[in-house]
Amino acid sequence: MIKVVLVDDHQLVRTGIKLILEGTGNVRIVGEAESGEAAIEVVQETYPDVVLMDISMPGMGGLEATRKLLAAHPGLKVVVLSVHVEEPFPSRFMKVGASGYLTKDCAVEEMLAAITTVHQGGRYIGAEVARKMAMHHIPGGASSPFERLSDRELQVMMMVIRGAKVTEISEKLFISTKTVNTYRYRVFEKLGVKNDVELTHLAMRHGIIEEADLAASR
């Protein structure tokens, strides 16, 4: 039996995945978390084999949570389960040590195959994600302006477009408000936008955040 922790800020999503996976008879959900911060605590308490990790959540988000979890638990396997298939997300997650990357519209069989594969020491990338990653590395292939951002800039940007205030970001990331604003202005400069509104519109155009997620976070 593979022990799994679900990390997603939507309870309905977690409930649905839990029912599906536990119905297969091969997986036991040992914990759930609605944020990256909560995921770190839950993993520490439950010692799962695999974590199914969302990307866009309140607080530190999935990328930083994955980095911290794998640093603290080297044997842990993380499979990203997200609506985001565009770069830079797949490459960034695989770079920090994630073992798999799936889209939320994947079949149950594929989700189970990914969990089983990474539990056995392999890696699993969904077909659509793999195609996008391959196209990214082909000369002349499509690229995203968000690839210009560092991991920390990307993290701050995700929090900004979800409506987090500077003081909230400062508290969540344990950095000063001045440092948060420095990152914000670096993001603006690299992406060619002037303010948070333009940044949010750019993120929506590139599928970084969905309108429904934006409404739910504010």
Q: Where do we find the tokens 């993001």?
A: 187
Domain with CATH 3.40.50.2300 in the chain: 2-137
Asked if residue 148 lies in contact with residue 90, where contact means CB atoms within 8 angstroms, the answer is: no
- Extract the tokens encoding 128: 């659509």
| Region 41-67 average pLDDT | 93
| Region 108-133 average pLDDT | 90
pLDDT for residue 72: 96
DSSP state, residue 23: T
Straight-line distance from the first to the last Cα atom of the chain, in angstroms, rounded to the nearest whole number: 39
Q: Which residue has the higher pLDDT, 149 or 30?
A: 30
| Region 121-129 average pLDDT | 90
| Region 137-146 average pLDDT | 63
| Region 157-180 average pLDDT | 89
In angstroms, rounded to a whole number, what is the distance separating the alpha carbons of residues 15 and 196?
Answer: 33
In the chain, % of residues over pLDDT 70? 91
β-bridge partners, 61: none
145-216 has CATH 1.10.10.10 classification: yes
Q: Is the pLDDT reported for residue 63 higher than 80?
A: yes
Domain with CATH 1.10.10.10 in the chain: 145-216
- Extract the tokens encoding 91: 């490459």
Q: Is the pLDDT reported for residue 156 higher than 80?
A: yes
CATH number corresponding to 2-137: 3.40.50.2300
Asked if residue 87 lies in contact with residue 136, where contact means CB atoms within 8 angstroms, the answer is: yes
Positive/negative CA dihedral, 191, 194, 199, 205: negative
Q: Is the pLDDT reported for residue 135 higher than 90?
A: no
- Extract the tokens encoding 184: 């914000």
In angstroms, rounded to a whole number, what is the distance separating the alpha carbons of residues 132 and 101?
Answer: 12
In angstroms, rounded to a whole number, what is the distance separating the alpha carbons of residues 194 and 199?
Answer: 8
Q: Cα Rg for the chain, rounded, in angstroms?
A: 17
| Region 124-133 average pLDDT | 83
Positive/negative CA dihedral, 50, 54, 60, 63: positive
DSSP state, residue 115: H
pLDDT for residue 142: 53
For residue 186, what are the CA distances in angstroms to 18, 36, 161, 194?
40, 24, 15, 11
pLDDT for residue 212: 44
The answer to whether the predicted template modeling score (pTM) of the entire model surpasses 0.85 is no
Q: Is the pLDDT reported for residue 193 higher than 80?
A: yes
